[in-house]
Amino acid sequence: MIRDPSAARTVGLVVLVVVALLGTAYALGRSLVPDRSASRSNVTTSATGPHYTDQPPADGTARHTPTGGPSTGPAETGQDGGASPSGTPSPGGPSDGPFGAQTTSGTSLVALTFDDGPDPQYTPQVLALLREHQVRATFCVVGENAQAHPDLIRAIAAEGHTLCNHSWSHDVALGSRSAAAIRSDLLRTSEAIRAAVPDAPIAYYRQPGGAWTGRIVSVSQELGMTALHWTVDPADWEVPGASRIAATVVSGVVPGSVVLLHDAGGDRQGTVDALHRILPALTSRFKVEALPSGGT
């Protein structure tokens, strides 16, 4: 027991000082630890990798939304693709796609589009079926394929189909490159098309994978081409079989739809076979026509 009152007071002061110091240290330590409950991230992770939630990617690239409506960016495995083949799309406005890309025909017309060609095995089959059903379509061609098969570019143009620029080598990352690199790629592709069909109108550009950026939309517009997205995607690039491709297109099309199909870039026999059902089903309900080329 401390009998000296002054000594007791001294001990008490020391205890108070120690308690105060400990409290200050605790508060300081808490301030240095981040509050996890208050933080937000635009990326969550799972066993399949990162998934974007409430914020867009830092690179500004549009990405697909897995729904049956208009898709808004890339989700492909080497070819174009995106929306899950389910649900009914809403046409919306002609330029309501990613970065202002056109998603519909802008009228009640339904437009079939074929990407990645031309291909010597599948493109002639597609052309024959379109001819049989008196349907004109829009072909988004890859520059190196146009260069390799100028006879097929001539056949596409001769039958009144619309030609669309689809980049030189199906470069999904093209939109992230410099404006000069994008311009060079698109010009090279258009030159390959016009080497086969001089003065061919090329009114549209479609970005591989739907990987649109503001820069690639701007460059395509500067070169006189409309950025062309789509409304209905049966994911034929995943080779789901003719029955599923046809069912998705026939059930999903509404007036103004732009349908994404492929005549190259892999095994496209399922797409060709699906056209035997798609073409009579659509032409009995809609006017199916190529997008306007702007040519005479």
Tokens 């460059």 — which residue?
Answer: 219
**Active-site annotation holds for 149:** no
What angle do helix axes 150-158 and 123-132 make, rounded to 10 degrees?
10
Q: Which of 115, 116, 171, 236 is catalytic?
A: 115
Burial class of residue 2, CB neighbours in 10 A (0-12, 13-18, 19+): exposed
* Among 64, 149, 166, 262, the one annotated catalytic: 262
Question: Has 161 been annotated as catalytic?
Answer: no
Catalytic residues: 115, 262
